[in-house]
Amino acid sequence: MAVMSDEEKILLAHPHLLVKQDRCDLCGVCPKYCPTKALNIDFASGRLLVSQEKCMACYVCVIVCDRGALEILWTYESYTPSP
């Protein structure tokens, strides 16, 4: 088996949308503007819910939130494609 050099490896980035619930006032602006409908308000629990699978990390929600309740965190992993 050949060993791949660092130049041949691929770095994969994975976004994770973080909701700072203590800053969120459930105003409804971010779900309104989310192009993938990844955000929903659960009024029963009083929390903003995120579907991480739907989020495409476009940052629209982060931009429209005037309370700073949303942040996108990134994790990275190295991937070596099959020859």
CATH topology of domain 9-79: Alpha-Beta Plaits (3.30.70)
The per-residue DSSP string of 25-82 comes to: ---SHHHHH-TT--EEEETTTTEEEE-TTT-----HHHHH-TT--EEEEEEEEEE---
d(CA 50, CA 31): 10
Return per-residue pLDDT of the chain as tens, 83 residues.
Answer: 455 566 678 889 999 999 999 999 999 999 999 999 999 999 999 999 999 999 999 999 999 999 999 999 999 998 887 76
> Which pTM was predicted?
0.79
- Residue 38 structure tokens: 């990844």
Q: Six-digit token pair at 64?
A: 């429209």
Q: Which residues are 41's β-sheet partners?
A: 48
